[in-house]
């Protein structure tokens, strides 16, 4: 009888140990899961977990996540500071740049030697370039930090393309470039305003770099996962080596110095594409023109 009682007690104890162990493992797994879920959502805070009550494994994960949350916060704060600094620079330079343009204008209205006139025109052009540069900087920094958000919606692409083409028709005409729209049926999930800006950047380059007598064609096409807006030109083309660099911030190819620009258009275009789940691609060869394609996700 006593023997059975002892066996029973041992079995009960073993069962209790197994149940307790399972409960403890489940609790640890749940806490690890909670920590990881919070880290993935970006809501992890060391304060939500009491370190003194964590197991060794949980404690190590807690330390790791606390350190990454801290460094993420630092990066975010630094980005915000840079963005605020750029906004300040933009705000504080507005009046001096506007004054520069005004004085250059007043100067050009004075009786000047031809050399003096050239200098006044150069001051005006440089002031305008500075203004464009500052505006581009503010725009990219606001896009990067998420202050300017994109709002992609499903819709037809052609209105964005047509509006962009209308803006560049006169400039193309003045330069003797034929600007045409080919096939234009296509739909995507995209932000109308920003996509129009991206297409404008591609058209601006196509018209700017294509010599008089050339052609620029815009087409829209649906594919299985993406729709494309393709801008084809008969310009100077871009070497393979340059193609890898032209999407960089402030990068201008060595041959582009005569043309106006600050080297931000393609960088911005890529940002706009990526912020809405798309991408930009270039196909080109020196002397053979270029094709820039903006891919946007299908609805």
Chain residues binding ligand ADP by CB under 6 A are 201, 205-206, 209, 233, 235-236, 238, 246, 251-253, 256, 261-267, 290
Tell me the residue nearest to ligand ADP as measured from the CB: 261
Q: Give the nearer residue to ligand ADP in terms of CB position, either 143 or 206.
A: 206
DSSP 222: E
CB of residue 240 to ligand ADP, shortest distance in Å: 13
Determine contact, residues 215/177, Cβ cutoff 8 Å.
yes
Q: Give the nearer residue to ligand ADP in terms of CB position, either 194 or 209.
A: 209
Say whether 291 sits in a helix, a strand or coil.
Answer: strand
Alpha-helical runs (H) found in the chain: 2-41, 56-108, 114-144, 158-174, 192-209, 240-243, 265-275
CB of residue 87 to ligand ADP, shortest distance in Å: 22
Element (H, E) at 281: strand 279-284
Of 98, 86, 30, 22, which Cα lies nearest the Cα of 58? 30
CB of residue 67 to ligand ADP, shortest distance in Å: 37
Distance, C-alpha 91 to centroid of its chain: 23
What are 8's two structure tokens? Answer: 């029973």
CB of residue 91 to ligand ADP, shortest distance in Å: 24
Q: Give the nearer residue to ligand ADP in terms of CB position, either 69 or 130.
A: 130
CB of residue 45 to ligand ADP, shortest distance in Å: 41
Query: How many CA atoms does the CB half-sphere of 185 hold within 13 Å?
Result: 0
> Dihedral angle at the C-alpha atoms of 236, 237, 240, 243, nearest 10 degrees?
110
Q: Give the nearer residue to ligand ADP in terms of CB position, either 66 or 271.
A: 271
CB of residue 205 to ligand ADP, shortest distance in Å: 3
Q: Give the nearer residue to ligand ADP in terms of CB position, either 23 or 250.
A: 250
Q: How far apart are CA 226 and CA 220, in angstroms?
A: 11
Q: Give the nearer residue to ligand ADP in terms of CB position, either 230 or 252.
A: 252
CB of residue 233 to ligand ADP, shortest distance in Å: 5
Say whether 166 sits in a helix, a strand or coil.
Answer: helix
Q: Give the nearer residue to ligand ADP in terms of CB position, either 66 or 205.
A: 205
Q: Give the nearer residue to ligand ADP in terms of CB position, either 155 or 263.
A: 263
Of 140, 132, 41, 45, which Cα lies nearest the Cα of 86? 140
CB of residue 59 to ligand ADP, shortest distance in Å: 49
For residue 53, count CB atoms less than 10 angstroms from its CB and return exposed for 0-12, middle for 13-18, buried for 19 or more.
exposed
């Amino acid at each position: 009888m006593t023997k059975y009682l002892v066996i029973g007690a041992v079995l009960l104890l073993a069962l209790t140990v197994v149940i307790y162990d399972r409960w403890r493992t489940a609790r640890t797994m749940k806490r690890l899961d909670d920590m990881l879920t919070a880290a993935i959502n970006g809501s992890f805070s060391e304060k939500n977990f009491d370190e003194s009550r964590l197991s060794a494994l949980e404690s190590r994960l807690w330390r790791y996540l606390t350190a990454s949350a801290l460094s993420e916060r630092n990066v975010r704060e630094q980005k915000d500071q840079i963005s605020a600094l750029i906004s300040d620079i933009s705000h504080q330079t507005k009046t001096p740049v506007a004054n520069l343009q005004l004085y250059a204008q007043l100067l050009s209205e004075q009786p000047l030697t031809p050399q003096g006139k050239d200098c006044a025109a150069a001051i005006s052009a440089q002031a305008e370039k500075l203004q464009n540069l500052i505006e581009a900087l503010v725009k990219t920094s606001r896009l990067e930090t998420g202050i300017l958000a994109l709002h992609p919606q499903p819709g037809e692409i052609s209105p964005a393309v047509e509006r962009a083409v209308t803006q560049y028709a006169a400039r193309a005409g003045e330069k003797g470039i034929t600007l045409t729209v080919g096939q234009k049926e296509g739909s995507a999930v995209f932000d109308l305003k920003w996509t129009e800006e991206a297409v404008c950047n591609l058209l601006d380059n196509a018209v700017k770099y294509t010599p008089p007598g050339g052609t620029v064609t815009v087409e829209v096409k649906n594919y299985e996962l993406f729709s494309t807006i393709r801008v084809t030109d008969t310009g100077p083309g871009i070497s393979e080596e340059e193609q890898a660099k032209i999407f960089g911030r402030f990068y201008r190819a060595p041959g582009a110095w005569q043309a106006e620009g600050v080297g931000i258009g393609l960088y911005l275009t890529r940002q706009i594409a990526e912020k809405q789940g798309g991408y930009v691609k270039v196909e080109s060869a020196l002397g053979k023109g270029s094709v820039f394609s903006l891919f946007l996700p299908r609805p």
